[in-house]
Protein backbone atom coordinates (compact mmCIF):
# COMPACT_ATOMS: atom_id res chain seq x y z
CA UNK A 1 0.00 0.00 0.00
CA UNK A 2 3.03 2.29 0.32
CA UNK A 3 4.97 3.50 -2.70
CA UNK A 4 7.99 5.74 -3.19
CA UNK A 5 7.00 9.23 -4.34
CA UNK A 6 10.17 9.47 -6.45
CA UNK A 7 10.40 6.18 -8.36
CA UNK A 8 7.06 4.46 -7.65
CA UNK A 9 8.62 1.34 -6.12
CA UNK A 10 6.92 -0.30 -3.14
CA UNK A 11 8.26 0.65 0.28
CA UNK A 12 9.61 -2.24 2.37
CA UNK A 13 9.34 -2.52 6.14
CA UNK A 14 12.62 -2.59 8.03
CA UNK A 15 13.50 -2.70 11.70
CA UNK A 16 16.74 -0.79 11.65
CA UNK A 17 18.47 0.05 14.88
CA UNK A 18 19.56 3.33 16.35
CA UNK A 19 20.96 4.38 19.72
CA UNK A 20 17.61 3.81 21.47
CA UNK A 21 17.01 0.34 20.02
CA UNK A 22 14.71 -0.65 17.19
CA UNK A 23 13.71 1.98 14.65
CA UNK A 24 10.82 0.69 12.49
CA UNK A 25 10.71 2.34 9.07
CA UNK A 26 9.78 1.87 5.43
CA UNK A 27 12.61 1.92 2.88
CA UNK A 28 12.33 2.62 -0.85
CA UNK A 29 12.28 -0.69 -2.73
CA UNK A 30 14.03 0.88 -5.74
CA UNK A 31 17.04 1.66 -3.60
CA UNK A 32 16.90 -1.57 -1.61
CA UNK A 33 16.94 -3.80 -4.69
CA UNK A 34 19.10 -1.42 -6.74
CA UNK A 35 17.49 -2.69 -9.92
CA UNK A 36 18.53 -1.04 -13.18
CA UNK A 37 15.07 0.15 -14.23
CA UNK A 38 13.98 1.56 -10.86
CA UNK A 39 17.16 2.65 -9.12
CA UNK A 40 16.41 5.26 -6.47
CA UNK A 41 18.28 7.15 -3.76
CA UNK A 42 18.61 6.01 -0.16
CA UNK A 43 15.62 7.34 1.72
CA UNK A 44 13.00 6.08 4.13
CA UNK A 45 10.11 7.18 6.32
CA UNK A 46 9.95 6.25 9.99
CA UNK A 47 6.84 4.36 11.09
CA UNK A 48 5.73 6.91 13.74
CA UNK A 49 5.99 9.73 11.19
CA UNK A 50 3.99 7.71 8.66
CA UNK A 51 1.32 6.92 11.25
CA UNK A 52 1.00 10.60 12.13
CA UNK A 53 0.69 11.57 8.46
CA UNK A 54 -2.04 8.96 7.90
CA UNK A 55 -3.92 10.09 11.01
CA UNK A 56 -3.74 13.74 9.91
CA UNK A 57 -5.02 12.80 6.47
CA UNK A 58 -7.91 10.88 8.01
CA UNK A 59 -8.75 13.86 10.23
CA UNK A 60 -8.92 16.10 7.17
CA UNK A 61 -11.17 13.63 5.35
CA UNK A 62 -13.53 13.32 8.32
CA UNK A 63 -13.62 17.11 8.67
CA UNK A 64 -14.50 17.51 4.98
CA UNK A 65 -17.14 14.78 5.23
CA UNK A 66 -18.82 16.40 8.22
CA UNK A 67 -18.53 20.07 7.22
CA UNK A 68 -19.12 19.77 3.47
CA UNK A 69 -21.08 16.58 3.01
CA UNK A 70 -22.33 17.33 -0.52
CA UNK A 71 -18.85 18.19 -1.77
CA UNK A 72 -17.44 15.06 -0.14
CA UNK A 73 -20.08 12.85 -1.78
CA UNK A 74 -19.38 14.49 -5.15
CA UNK A 75 -15.63 13.86 -4.81
CA UNK A 76 -16.19 10.21 -3.87
CA UNK A 77 -18.64 9.69 -6.73
CA UNK A 78 -16.21 11.23 -9.24
CA UNK A 79 -13.36 9.08 -7.96
CA UNK A 80 -15.50 5.93 -8.08
CA UNK A 81 -16.69 6.70 -11.60
CA UNK A 82 -13.18 7.32 -12.91
CA UNK A 83 -11.91 4.13 -11.25
CA UNK A 84 -14.76 2.12 -12.80
CA UNK A 85 -14.00 3.60 -16.23
CA UNK A 86 -10.33 2.61 -15.88
CA UNK A 87 -11.37 -0.91 -14.87
CA UNK A 88 -13.70 -1.20 -17.89
CA UNK A 89 -10.91 -0.09 -20.25
CA UNK A 90 -8.53 -2.64 -18.76
CA UNK A 91 -11.08 -5.43 -19.04
CA UNK A 92 -11.90 -4.50 -22.63
CA UNK A 93 -8.21 -4.48 -23.51
CA UNK A 94 -7.83 -7.97 -22.04
CA UNK A 95 -10.98 -9.24 -23.76
CA UNK A 96 -9.82 -8.91 -27.40
CA UNK A 97 -6.90 -11.40 -27.22
CA UNK A 98 -9.07 -13.89 -25.36
CA UNK A 99 -11.83 -13.67 -27.95
CA UNK A 100 -9.21 -14.17 -30.66
CA UNK A 101 -7.91 -17.26 -28.85
CA UNK A 102 -11.46 -18.66 -28.60
CA UNK A 103 -11.85 -18.28 -32.38
CA UNK A 104 -8.51 -20.03 -32.94
CA UNK A 105 -9.54 -22.92 -30.69
CA UNK A 106 -12.91 -23.17 -32.46
CA UNK A 107 -11.12 -23.47 -35.82
CA UNK A 108 -8.78 -26.14 -34.43
CA UNK A 109 -11.65 -28.15 -32.96
List the domain boundaries for the chain.
Answer: 1-47
pTM: 0.59
In tens digits, the chain (109 residues) has pLDDT values of 888 888 888 888 888 766 566 778 888 888 766 655 667 777 888 899 999 999 999 999 999 899 999 999 999 999 999 999 999 999 999 999 999 999 999 999 9
Burial of residue 78 (CB within 10 Å: 0-12, 13-18, 19+) is: exposed
The SS3 call for residue 24 is strand
Amino acid sequence: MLYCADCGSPLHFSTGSNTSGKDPRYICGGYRKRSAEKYCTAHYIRQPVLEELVLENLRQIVKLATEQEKEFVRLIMNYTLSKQQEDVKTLQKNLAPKEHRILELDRII
